[in-house]
Structure formats: structure tokens, C-alpha cells
Amino acid sequence: MLQKNNLGKAYHDATKHSYLSVQMNPNYVDASTQPSTFKVYPKFYRRVQLNVNNPVHSFIWLTSAITLEKVYKDVPYKLRVNPSAGALYPTEVYVQVRGVHGMVDGVYHLEVENNCLTLIYELIDDGLESYIIPTKCISGFIFLISCVYYRSSWKYQDRSLRYCFLDSGHHLGAIAASAYLHSKDIQLIFDFDKLALNTDLGFENKEFITACAISGKAQEKQTRRLRLKVPFVCATDYFEANQFIETSYKATAVQQSYQQQLKQPQLKFDRDKFYQTIFNRRSCRRFRKKCISQEEYLYIWQQLEQPLPTENYEEIEIYSVVHRVEGMSPGLYKGKHLLKAGDFSEQTGYLCINQAIARDCAVTLFFVSDYKSYQTAMQIAGFIGQRVYLGSNYMAIQCSAIGAYYDDETQRFLETTKDVLYAMAIGN
């Protein structure tokens, strides 16, 4: 029987990769069976077409915009501002709008494929605040991130639990990036009544809320819970339940995070260049073993040292395996401190399940944590990962996220007892 205080770690341990597990389950899938990647409500729902020349619309649109369409092995992919493991995009965005000129107060679904907002619930004296910040009323926006887990579990099975949370964190990072461009502050909230909200949003067992981001003015005012249940709409064309994911989500949804004082990051990007960075962000599939400068590497670190805009917190430690940075000794670093010198490029390539990107990049990053709340820790890892993407791409340095690695062997290489949550590669 799992103890309540170690459920997150137990579920993380249950999804570990090892050399043997990967060989025994290579995880081949038939691409023709992939479930649909866009949720659409019935045609009779009221919609608002997003106009990028309208600042409010632009703010919402850029949180999830499609930025490239391509075909790979006869399968079309629509890539977005937020990366996703396997380009499967399990995350959906809902946004509550209150007190915004020209828009009906309500809860909307962001219909990414068609660039519109679908009104799924009209507010009176009720709202999402009652589930998230019960004593406040927000004039502005409340973004909800949800995960349609089958889009990911179709390919990654139980380990997709990790990818759903990481993708959610990346999506929060995309919201934060759009907020910066539109001169808005946001607050990320991870600790709230997700289970009740899932029920009232009509998600059944097909979809679940992971986090929210608030942007607006808070007033001291009580709001009611949603007075009506939102009708159920399935986000995929077919569905296969995964009991492990559903059980682990519910168990970890009630874990409380560490707390910290809310601080806003002080970013200093050129806005036009940053917009292009957001829009052109891609995951690099091949590095050419080129060096990056120490100045570029330290610039990326400066972005990672910025505070996270949340009171719910889990500390993420970052190990860097430096392969090719001018002016720096190759080796394993914790933060900026050299732990052991040497060329570990072949080893990191092996640890990341023999992926060449982890071997040929300039730096391989590993995120580790000793967490209280597993969901929060994984999402913060994804949020920081989005900063790595945008910070490196802003400097014309390529980046790729790596969710697959040999967990225990990586821990031993890093000489840490903390769980390895994520890996990333940067370089050219």
C-alpha cells in the first residue's frame, strides 16, 4: 500500500525507463490510429473570431497559436508556440473573461485550429474564482490548462503522465511569454480544487485540469461556484482509458506545494525580436557539434534565474553537462559550479536513450527535484523548459526538450538522490 506522502514519487518511479524496459517495450505505434489533436465544441455554440490587431485577442491567440504546418511520413502536423512531446499536444486552454470591453463575461474554450474563442458558459454571479481563489473576483483573465491525456497515452502509455504535466508547464510558459509581449503580469496557481472543477466543467474521465494563470485585477468579493454543469464534449474522436494515469492524477492533484512570496520576473527582451522568437520557436532534431560562447550560455542562465510568478513552488535544481562552450571546461556542473571535469558527451547521449541530440549539443541540462507536489514540480520543470527554449532561440541557439532517459542511471551519473524530471539540449 502506497503511503500518502510519497505517492508522487511512487507514480514517478512506476514510469521510469531503463535499458531493459526500453528494449522490452520499444513502443511502436500505428500513426493512422492517432486520436484527434483539436477539441471542437458543437457548431451552435457562440464563437468570437480572434483578430490579431485587437490587443485582447492577440494576447489570447499568442498563448496557443499554430506557427507551422508540415507533413512527416504522410501525417500532417500543426506545430504551435508551445512544444509537446511527440507533437501530440494533449493540452487545451480555457479562459474566463470578466469585465473586458467588447466581450461577454464567461468561460471560453480556445479553439486553436480555427483561431476563435467558443463561449461554453456565461457568468452571472459565479465563476472559476470560487475553485481557485475563493475570496477574490478577477477582472481580466483566468486561463485554465487541461490535459486530454489519451492524446499522449496513445503513444507513451503510462509515462505520458509525465509528458502531460511537462506539456502543461510549457503551455503556462507560452501564456507568460504572450503576457510579457502584451505588458501584462500573470500569476500561476497550482494548488486549488481541480477535482471539483473537472466535474463542473463536464470532463468526465477524458480530460483533467492541471494549473491556471491569472492576469487581471483582484477584488475582495465572493463568487459562487458554477451554477450549472458544463455539457460534456469529448476532445478526441475516440478514447481508451488508462487507469494508472487517472488514479495517479487524482492522487497527486490534492498534494500541496511549498509556498513562496509572489515575485514577477524582470525580463528585458527586445519585443519585436522576442515576438519572432516565440513564433519561430522549434525543437532542434540535429546538432552539428558546434560551440556556443560562454556569454551566450550565461545569458540563458540569467533567464533561468528569474523568479517564477507563483506562490506555489517546488525547487528545481539544474545540472549542466557542458560539452562545447568556449571558455568553459567540459564537465558536469551544478548551476555554475564544476562538479567533475571531462568529456561526457557520449555518456549523456547514452543516458538519453542513445539520442544523438544529447551527445552532439553544446550543453545537456538535467532538471531534478525533491518535491512535495509532483504535479507542481513537473509543471514548473516544463515552465522553466519553455524559458530555455525562448532564451536560447532568442540568441539564435537551437534547443530540444528530452523527456526520455534512463532514470536511475542518470541519477547515478549526477550523483543525486532527487528525481530527474526533465532533460534539455542546447547548441548549434
| DSSP 8-class letter at 385 | H
How far is Cα 146 from Cα 394, in angstroms, rounded to an integer?
A: 28
* Count of CB atoms situated within 10 Å of the CB of 343: 12
- Residues 21 and 145 grouped into a single domain: yes
Residue 415: which CATH number?
A: 3.40.109.10
Kindly state whether residue 259 falls inside one of the protein's structural domains: no
- Residues 248 and 289 grouped into a single domain: no
Helix axes 374-394, 160-181, angle to 10 degrees: 50
Boundary residue ending a domain (224, 254, 284): 254
Kindly state whether residue 8 falls inside one of the protein's structural domains: no
- Residues 133 and 178 grouped into a single domain: yes
User: Which cell numbers hold the place of 280?
Assistant: 519561430
Task: Quote the pLDDT of residue 67.
Answer: 95
3-state secondary structure of 97: strand
Kindly state whether residue 112 falls inside one of the protein's structural domains: yes
- Residues 280 and 423 grouped into a single domain: yes
- Residues 340 and 399 grouped into a single domain: yes
Domain of 332 in residue numbering reads as: 276-427
User: Which cell numbers hold the place of 307?
Assistant: 523568479
Task: Quote the pLDDT of residue 76.
Answer: 77
Kindly state whether residue 367 falls inside one of the protein's structural domains: yes
pTM for the model stands at: 0.96
- Residues 236 and 310 grouped into a single domain: no
Low-confidence ranges of the chain (pLDDT < 70): 1-5
Task: Quote the pLDDT of residue 5.
Answer: 53
Total domains in the fold of the chain: 2
- Residues 215 and 355 grouped into a single domain: no
- Residues 224 and 328 grouped into a single domain: no
How far is Cα 116 from Cα 123, in angstroms, rounded to an integer?
A: 19
3-state secondary structure of 424: strand
Kindly state whether residue 269 falls inside one of the protein's structural domains: no
- Residues 335 and 245 grouped into a single domain: no
Kindly state whether residue 400 falls inside one of the protein's structural domains: yes
Kindly state whether residue 289 falls inside one of the protein's structural domains: yes
How far is Cα 78 from Cα 169, in angstroms, rounded to an integer?
A: 20
Contact between 367 and 317 (Cβ < 8 Å): yes
Task: Quote the pLDDT of residue 12.
Answer: 96
Kindly state whether residue 375 falls inside one of the protein's structural domains: yes
Boundary residue ending a domain (193, 221, 254): 254
380, amino acid identity: I
- Residues 126 and 244 grouped into a single domain: yes
- Residues 50 and 170 grouped into a single domain: yes
- Residues 243 and 286 grouped into a single domain: no
How far is Cα 127 from Cα 208, in angstroms, rounded to an integer?
A: 18
419, amino acid identity: D
pLDDT (tens digit per residue) in 223-234 = 999 999 999 999
358, amino acid identity: A
